Chain A
């Protein structure tokens, strides 16, 4: 595989992850993922393993978000299949979903049996505050590529999406219906200028 210097191979990292690596890395990501796995996916895939550049991560996550279903599950499928085909996708999926499903079933069992989570609410409040901070940091990191080069309409589109959903709290489907065509038109205009 290293001898095959095709156009694609240049963009790929020097070593494609093995099936075992795919499994353990996604299992690790899922077990780190208190209050959401996205920040950890970024940290491990981009910063620790360097399997993706910041731009590639944005592209992959964007595709995963526009597909129906859970975002990071979609991301694990696309990422796993890109390196190791259908088996890679299966392995990343079970790595990401397996350990949490076991843990959450145990917690579900305890909850149905005892139904007391008051003591944990305090811990949850603290972790939620930290998780929000981590998501803010990763969002900022993911936004950096948008401001590179002579930047185009992208930062303004991102700002419009943030205002519509975050500040105005407009319903997601309507915002997407309005914003996606505008963003595509701007990108097309910029590419053909």
Chain B
């Protein structure tokens, strides 16, 4: 079926976007990037909204644009059903989990001084840090596979951001420029 060409086709696609991303979001522990493989399966294999190369392109565009990682979902929605698709997919991915987060944040705050909460927190924080350290490592390996200069950019940015209060946006601009002229 060629989605988006007919009214019913488009409505079906919108419904699918809303339902599929709502379901996906409720199982997405560890953030949007942890759910990328499942999004790929959904968008390419199950729903046929795009082919493999297009998915890779969209992922690259989402990385290039500013904003939280979840905007890959906006882009998938846009590709599948235009502007309405972008809105519906984003709302599906964020809406229900926002309600959960609001309620959980309130509950968490209420038990601020409870002994069980302090213990749970002491147990959760190091796991979280291990996960972030892992994604930093995986991202650095993927980004630095290209060249020695890429590795140098990563190392320099890490050192500058850790030791100084300089705005890292400068490193980003410089690195982007070097990449644009083909040096990285």
Report which A residues bind B (CB closer than 8 A).
7-8, 30-39, 43, 47, 58-59, 61-74, 77-78, 81-82, 86, 89, 93, 96-97, 99-101, 103-105, 107-109, 111-112, 115, 117, 119-143, 146, 152-155, 157-162, 164-167, 172-173, 176, 179-180, 183-188, 190-191
Contacts and interface: CB of A to CB of B under 8 A. Distances in A.
Interface of B: 25-32, 34, 57-58, 60-71, 74-75, 78-79, 83, 86-87, 90, 93-94, 96-98, 100-102, 104-106, 108-109, 112-113, 115, 118-140, 142-144, 146, 150-151, 153-162, 165, 168-169, 171-172, 174-184
Contacts of B158: 133-134, 136-137, 140
Contacts of A39: 161, 168
B86 A105 contact: yes
A104 B137 contact: no
A62 B134 contact: no
A126 to B, nearest CB: 3
A123 B143 contact: no
Contacts of B62: 104
Contacts of B143: 125, 128-129, 131-132
Contacts of B115: 191
B165 A105 contact: no
Contacts of B134: 161-162, 164-167
Contacts of B180: 119, 122-123, 126
B81 to A, nearest CB: 11
A174 B34 CA distance: 13
A120 B125 contact: no
A133 B105 contact: no
Contacts of B171: 130, 133-134
Nearest to B128: A62
B60 A69 contact: no
A42 to B, nearest CB: 10
Contacts of A140: 158, 162
30 contacts: A34-B172, A58-B129, A61-B128, A65-B30, A66-B124, A68-B29, A70-B70, A72-B70, A73-B97, A77-B102, A78-B102, A81-B105, A93-B98, A100-B67, A101-B67, A103-B65, A104-B86, A105-B74, A120-B64, A126-B175, A127-B176, A129-B140, A129-B144, A132-B140, A135-B140, A139-B133, A143-B129, A154-B125, A160-B130, A191-B118
Contact of B67 (A30, A38, A165): A30
Nearest to B179: A126
B182 to A, nearest CB: 5
B112 A133 contact: no
Contacts of B70: 70, 72-73, 97
Contact of A73 (B98, B155, B172, B174): B98
Contact of B29 (A123, A136, A138, A176): A176
A178 B99 CA distance: 28
A158 B126 contact: yes
B33 to A, nearest CB: 8
Given A33-B66, A70-B69, A124-B179, A141 B162 contact: yes
